[in-house]
Amino acid sequence: MAEASVADPKIDRPILCFGTGRGGTTVFLRVLSEHPDLAWFSNFTHRFHHRAFYPLAALSRIRDLPWLGDALPYDWKIRPKPREANKLYKAMTGGAFTQPAPLGREDARKQLDAWRAAVRSHLRWHGKPRFVNKHTGFPRCEFFLEIFPDARFIHVMRDGRAVANSLLNVPWWDGTIENSWWWGEMAEEDEKLFVDSGRAPVVLAGLVWRTLMRHNERELADVNPAQQFEVNYTHFVADPLGMMERVREYCELRPSEKFDARIRRIKIHNADDKWKRDLDDEQKRLLHDTIGEDLVHFGFEL
């Protein structure tokens, strides 16, 4: 499939969402992407991730068709939808972006052309003026500022107890350092906490959240305050429309009745308190001892 023979669109204030993983970024992007001015990496360009298939992004235009666009079930397999396109990231950067390691400005310079080309292509094929994306794990703020100096960052924060409980309930995370710790050499004090707990998976899950939240805080400290916005997941699921109004204003997106109507139709399942039912008293105690101070520091109630 050939690229369209039109001038590359300008990349204007791309909106970059990030979080720890298991922290609500997926549903947040799902809602924000409903704004009619936003383009995104899709399920199609994730699956068919060679740049020759970037024109598949044009399938998203079906969302703009009167009557049909908003009637398509979200879970329908052939419905275009945004996603964390790890296969695309890996393909366009030779695996550099998806490696479980911090990346900075020097790393970004090696990937700058690939990222800009991919975003421009998606803007063009979507036919939209702005771009939104999300990733989880290490924050990559410094990295992205080198590529997109006018980027708008949105940090989606979720209660560490909810994140830990979510990790305990996914099949690909087994709660061992050997298979479930991907964040560099573990700090000596953290390893002692884990060992002293009897290698309890809930403690390791808490340490994952704490480690990534601290990375996020350090990188955001060097980002212009006008270029960052914080979303508390609890507040978001309680009032999606109200939170999205604040996000829209921060991102300088135009008001849209279509956007508001789409948000109202989305059913968001609030599982933020599920950890209170799933974890036993001993797990709750261990988690409190591990991340209690950090929960308070990041604004969560004990």
Residue with tokens 């939104």: 132
* Structural domain boundaries enclosing 78: 15-297
Is 1 contained in some domain?
no
Tens of each residue's pLDDT in the chain, 302 residues: 334 334 579 999 999 999 999 999 999 999 999 999 999 999 999 999 989 999 999 999 998 998 888 888 888 888 999 999 999 999 999 999 999 999 999 999 999 999 999 999 999 999 999 999 999 999 999 999 999 999 999 999 999 999 999 999 999 999 999 999 999 999 999 999 999 999 999 999 999 999 999 999 999 999 999 999 999 999 999 999 999 999 999 999 999 999 999 999 999 988 889 999 999 999 999 999 999 999 999 999 99
Say if CB 90 and CB 21 are below 8 A apart.
Answer: no
Q: What is the pTM of this model?
A: 0.95
Give the Cα-Cα-Cα angle 89, 201, 287 (nearest 5 degrees).
105
As beta bridge partners, residue 17 has 134, 154
Q: How much is the pLDDT for 206?
A: 98
**Measured between alpha carbons, how far is 46 from 57 in angstroms, rounded to an integer?**
10
Q: How many domains does the chain have?
A: 1
Say if CB 194 and CB 185 are below 8 A apart.
Answer: no
Say if CB 136 and CB 183 are below 8 A apart.
Answer: no
Is 280 contained in some domain?
yes
Is 52 contained in some domain?
yes
Is 127 contained in some domain?
yes
Is 198 contained in some domain?
yes
The CATH number assigned to the domain holding 195 equals: 3.40.50.300
Is 302 contained in some domain?
no
Is 3 contained in some domain?
no
CA dihedral 256, 258, 263, 264 (to 10 degrees): 120
Where is 277: in which H helix or E strand? helix 274-278
**Measured between alpha carbons, how far is 231 from 243 in angstroms, rounded to an integer?**
8
**Measured between alpha carbons, how far is 23 from 138 in angstroms, rounded to an integer?**
13
Is 10 contained in some domain?
no
**Measured between alpha carbons, how far is 302 from 293 in angstroms, rounded to an integer?**
9
Q: How much is the pLDDT for 7?
A: 58
| DSSP one-letter string for 100-151 | SS---HHHHHHHHHHHHHHHHHHHHHHT-SEEEEEEESS--HHHHHHH-TT-
